[in-house]
Structure 1
């Protein structure tokens, strides 16, 4: 098993909007690629991390599953629309993926 973690930084004062958009994405779009509530959790920086950081952690079986999900996401028009809705609320260029292998 692996964890795919997607991070983004909210602009100052925009964290509630980013969180709401992330929750909407999980419900409406992520579920279309199998990323359901039992496999995903949202995190927010608190102590020792930037409070503006919002992360999604997704349980995946392997990199092939992640690649298939990314390929399908590219075909979902609602994902492109969502990205444009999110853009005014985030710091440009801060999005990144990290992949972790679960060892225990």
Structure 2
């Protein structure tokens, strides 16, 4: 099993909007993928990390699951419409994926 985390920095004063958009994405877009996003966790920065940091963390079986996930979201029209809304509340260039192996 692996953990895939999509992380970004929310603009000052807009973290809750970003969290709301991630929750919307999980329910309406992520639910259409091969990954069970009902178990996804959203975590935010608190101590020792940027307070604006937000991560959407999900379990995957392996990197093929993540590759299939990326292919699927690219084909979902709602994902393309959601992106510009998200772009308004996050710091440009702050997004990244991290993948961890569970031992």
Q: TM-score, normalised by structure 1?
A: 0.95
Question: Which 4+ stretches in 1 moved above 2 angstroms?
Answer: none
1:13-52 per-position Cα deviation (integer Å, ceiling 9, x unaligned): 11111010011000100111133222x1100001111110
Counterpart mapping for 1:16-95 below 5 A: 16-33=16-33, 34-38=35-39, 40-95=40-95
RMSD: 0.8
Structure 2: any 5+ residue segments left out of the alignment?
none
Q: Count how many residue pairs are aligned between Structure 1 and Structure 2.
A: 102
Question: Please, what TM-score do these two structures have when normalized by structure 2?
Answer: 0.96
Q: Which runs of 5+ in 1 are unaligned?
A: none
- Tell me, in whole angstroms, the C-alpha distance in 2 between the residues paired with 1:27 and 1:72: 15
